[in-house]
Chains A and B, each alone.
Chain A
Amino acid sequence: MPISGLILTLSSNSEAAQTALDKCHADPQVQVGEFVGPRRCPITLDTNNPEEDKVSWQRLQDDPGIDFVDVVCVYFDEDEKAEDSTVQVPASHSGTMALAD
């Protein structure tokens, strides 16, 4: 699963920002780096599966103590095979299309 480097911009509301930061510190998937300026904080996110990745992302995005999430880098596992997605191949095409290996 991807390992990513992100920058969080914490809220100017210091109470909300501190709560968000505490949650990050308590999350084993998140490693918190050193602040750059008063509100910008680099972190890494390392999740086990897409579901966890989604949950972590959503939590960061929706946290009232976090104003913004910037992505800096993402490393995929090169052994990772193309995963199933929730997209349905249009019914009229099923079984007749040549799909990637």
Chain B
Amino acid sequence: MSLMQLDRRNFLKSVAMATATAAAHETFAATTNDVSLPQLDPKVTDPPAIDGVVWDKAPCRFCGTGCHVMVGVKNNRVVAVTGDRHAAVNKGLLCVKGYHVGSILYGQGRLTQPLLKTDTGYKAISWEEAIKVIAKRIIKRPKTFAIYGSGQWTIPEGYACQKFIKGGLANNHIDPNARLCMASAVTGFIGTYGVDEPAGCYDDLDAANVIITWGNNPAEMHPVLFSRFIDRRSRGEKVTLIDIGTRRTRTTEQADHYLCFNPHSDLAIANGIMQQLIENDTFDKKFVEQHCNFRYQVDPKKPGLKGAPSTFEAFKKAVAEYTPERVEEISGVPADKIRMLGKLFGRRDIRITSLWCMGMNQHSAGTMINNLVHSVHLLSGHFGRPGDAPTSLTGQPSACGTAREVGTLAHALPGGRLVKLKAHRQHCEDIWNLPRGRMNPKPGYHTVKMWEAFCTPTDQPGGDIDTIWVQVTNPGQTLPNLHKLFDPKANLKDKFLIVSDVYPTATTQLADLILPAALWVEKNGMFGNSERRTQQWFRQVTPPGQARDDCWQVIAVARAMFDMGHEGMRDKDGKFIFETKDDQGSEVPIWEWENYYGKVNVDEALFEEYRKFTRLKHKDLAPYSEYVKAHGLRWPVVQQPDGSWRETGFRFSGFDDPYVGKDASGKPKEFDFYHSTTKDGRAQIWHYPYLDPPEMPDATYPFWLCTGRVLEHWHSGTMTRRVPQLARAVPRAYVEINPDDAKAAGIAQGSPVKIESRRGSIVLPARINGRGQPPRGSIFVPFFDETKLINNVTLDVTCPISKEPDYKKCAVSIMPVSTSKG
């Protein structure tokens, strides 16, 4: 190493130390109001001045926590990433995935050219050709075309897809991967409050006395949120962590109580807490009387989103059977622990925050368990004050912003509207300047149905999707029961799969047309994180080769269809549905790539149009320019008399939410559920019984299988497996087995194990006493590894309301695989 290099490294090290010290002070001071902290080195600027490096903000590309980073760019390449100290979400901190977020752009094998499948392999084609191929195919059969995306779409990307398919093609076959991860949270919120998304925010984690994780592992999945809790404890604050889970994880290591439950029996635990609140007469009578109604499912085997009205007496009777002893019998959680939970929720002097993510959502009774956990908080009055919150987290960076708010779901329209409601369709037609009556009232196919239709021969009943365009996701790895929902595509010659992605994936393996996409700071973007925070960033480097924005791809196809005479791509005045004008009022041909980052900011134009949709459900968004200035803003963002824009931390709470109604004296009410399904300002407390899950271990398949994620990899690993440090840390999938089960089956550490279900099998190396530790009778497999597809084994049963599959439990057998050749 030369002297100059050494100097540079020493300089970077001193900058790194100063930045880390500053961030440690920042988080410490933010929560202690300690003003006597040592002075920071004034030479360290924020972000640090490093020769030739230009800094700009962006949200992290990975999970729904939505940490803010400062991205350092030199010579059109990302060379540095620091946590953004001014961002309330992460106060300058990142996790190991954020550490490597800059490297995801530079992994081996970026796709850089459109590729068309031919009889002899893939042929590189021009963008013009690729766009024409897609446009012609859609024009021929617009009703059998579908789009499949995810919460990795930016808000403008998802919005453009919505407008293209629902407004342009009058076809509602669009669904996101979010269907597989948070659809049950959506239906849980709607069934309880009449409107989607959490009432609370991350500030709850700074105020709660008790944090309960329900089948959730934030230490690995949302590490920066977990770090808030760790930070409070490190300063000597007493915060109790209760981990209710089906296996021990890194979260468990920090927990005061670990309640290990039998898969699916969280339903019984929630009922048990409510039974205790009533038996001990410690439920919050005032809160319940003033702000709640009761509901139930007439036929629990055929549940509906809204259920039927009930009474307190009927509710009391229904939960009475869930005594601590009965709950212990169902769940395996000791009765004393259920009593402990009942007592905690019965206390008025503490604040309780519940967190959950996939554990409660990927559940064959996903909507119902979501409803029940909200109900526990409502019945106990642990709601709506800082620290008292039932809060679902999301796995994808814009699952909330794009999938839920833009509504890229088969039944939804932007801003919480529904395709089945005429008035909602008319709002869209008016904002999009479409002829009244163009939009289709029939919801499209949800994820599982969409892929089932695609993988069924066109001439057979139920085979009525023949073209799918996949953007920003990897269904060839993440769909459940892949043998049924993805693999048959290989032999169906008239089906056409278009995949826009940044790297080759399990999905591109079966693609007929592959489109190279721009990634993260290679394009402008906006995300919406788990706490209703909308974030914006600008393009900072150019994408490699011919990779281009997903949003541009859609607009270019729309324009090609317009030029070919497709009526749907015209508004009622005959103009292009994505017409965009510059400041002088002249149309800019944004469908030509050279103009996409030219005179107009396409993201801004699309966002300003989308923003008009957001008032109906009081999810108001500010103008684009406000997000350029801010570190994200939590909706509703409402303009103040002085012209400034104010975000909202706590929805439905009179002290913070401007939409809460006023009482007789003209003051804001304490709480107001102003989108109540019962139209009386009340939330719904649900009863739903514990019923056995659709598949349980038996003599042939005696183990529970649970699937999930690991700290180092995000989602299907497409990006993180290209980061050498992350790939080397956890290179391949494995199966976690309890040591006693391993011993009984003759399975040694690292030896191959065959896991078999009714649907398929897989061989993985055993991991015993590793990071995650399942109890006896359960195994766990992470799903990030595209070379080991655990979803060939999982079950495709969905929650009957949310249609979200249950990846968390099915029955399997395990057996050692002999490695000897003889």
Chain A residues in the interface with B (C-beta under 8 A): 2-7, 9-10, 12, 31, 33-34, 36-44, 46, 50-51, 53-54, 57-58, 61, 67-78, 82-90, 92-93, 95-101
Contacts and interface: CB of A to CB of B under 8 A. Distances in A.
A6 B92 CA distance: 11
Contacts of A82: 106-108
B20 A76 contact: no
Contacts of B305: none
B504 interface: yes
Contacts of A98: 111-113, 115, 124, 516, 545
B731 to A, nearest CB: 5
B725 A68 contact: no
Interface residues of B, number: 87
A3 B219 CA distance: 24
Contacts of B19: 5, 72-73
A36 B723 CA distance: 31
Contact of B122 (A2, A57, A96): A96
B721 interface: yes
A33 B113 CA distance: 47
Given A93-B504, A97-B504, A9 B50 contact: no
Given A36-B28, A74-B82, 7 more contacts: A36-B21, A40-B28, A44-B13, A54-B728, A57-B729, A73-B82, A97-B111
26 contacts: A3-B12, A4-B16, A5-B17, A6-B20, A31-B17, A36-B21, A40-B28, A54-B725, A54-B728, A57-B96, A72-B83, A74-B99, A75-B72, A76-B80, A78-B79, A86-B724, A86-B727, A87-B503, A87-B727, A90-B786, A95-B121, A97-B115, A97-B504, A98-B111, A98-B124, A100-B112
B102 A76 contact: yes
Nearest to A42: B20
Interface in B549-566: none
A50 B728 contact: yes
Interface stretch (B230-238, B422-430, B701-709): B230-238
Contacts of B110: 99-100
B17 A33 contact: yes
Nearest to A47: B725
Given A5-B16, A70-B94, A90-B508, A78 B731 contact: no
B683 to A, nearest CB: 35
Interface string B111-127: 11101000001111000
A29 B723 CA distance: 21
Contact of B509 (A38, A39, A46, A93): A93
Contacts of B170: none
B256 to A, nearest CB: 12
A5 B109 CA distance: 29
B782 interface: no
A63 B269 CA distance: 34
Contacts of A42: 17, 20-21, 23-24
Contacts of B113: 98
B103 interface: yes
A31 B509 contact: no
B621 interface: no
A34 B109 CA distance: 42
Nearest to A87: B721
B226 interface: yes
Contacts of A90: 504-506, 508-509, 786
Given A33-B20, A87-B722, A100 B80 contact: no
B81 A73 contact: yes
Contacts of A75: 12, 15-16, 50, 72, 79-80
B24 A85 contact: no
Most buried by A among B21, B506, B711: B21
Nearest to B718: A87
Nearest to A46: B13
B35 to A, nearest CB: 14
Contacts of B72: 75
Nearest to B110: A100
Contacts of B123: 96
Nearest to B92: A72
B224 interface: yes
A51 B393 CA distance: 33
B20 A73 contact: yes
B80 A96 contact: no
Interface string B697-740: 00000000000000100000000011111011101000000000
Nearest to B94: A71
B131 interface: no
Contacts of A12: 233
Contacts of A68: 219, 223, 226-227, 230
Interface string B62-84: 00000000001011011111110
Contacts of B9: 3, 46
Contacts of A2: 99
Contact of A70 (B93, B711, B724): B93
Contacts of B45: none
B399 interface: no
B401 interface: no
B25 interface: yes
Given A44-B20, A70-B227, A37 B80 contact: no
B102 A43 contact: no
B326 to A, nearest CB: 37
In order of increasing CB-CB distance, the 3 nearest A-B pairs are A5-B20, A5-B16, A73-B82
B168 interface: no
B95 A37 contact: no
Nearest to B543: A100
Contacts of B678: none
A91 B205 CA distance: 46
Given A37-B28, A85-B724, A100-B545, A92 B509 contact: yes
Nearest to B120: A96
A6 to B, nearest CB: 6
A2 B611 CA distance: 40
A67 to B, nearest CB: 6
A43 B508 CA distance: 41
Contacts of A3: 9, 12-13, 16
B93 A71 contact: yes
B544 interface: yes
Contacts of B786: 90
B194 interface: no
A93 B508 contact: yes
Contacts of B639: none
B109 A87 contact: yes
A70 B124 contact: no
Nearest to B112: A98
A65 to B, nearest CB: 12
B769 interface: no
A14 to B, nearest CB: 13
Contacts of A101: 544-545
B742 to A, nearest CB: 21
A68 to B, nearest CB: 4
B722 A100 contact: no
B80 A74 contact: yes
A99 B106 CA distance: 11
A87 B722 CA distance: 6
B41 to A, nearest CB: 11
Kindly name the residue among B95, B108, B514 whose own CB sees the greatest number of chain A CB atoms within 10 A: B108
B310 interface: no
Contacts of B235: 37-39
A44 B18 CA distance: 9
A44 B16 contact: yes
B595 interface: no
Contacts of A100: 108-110, 112, 544-545
Nearest to A77: B79
A89 B98 CA distance: 24
- Determine which residue in A2, A41, A100, A101 has the highest number of CB atoms from chain B within 10 A of its CB, and name it: A100
A50 B724 contact: yes
A92 B102 CA distance: 29
B280 interface: no
Contacts of A87: 107-109, 503, 721-722, 727
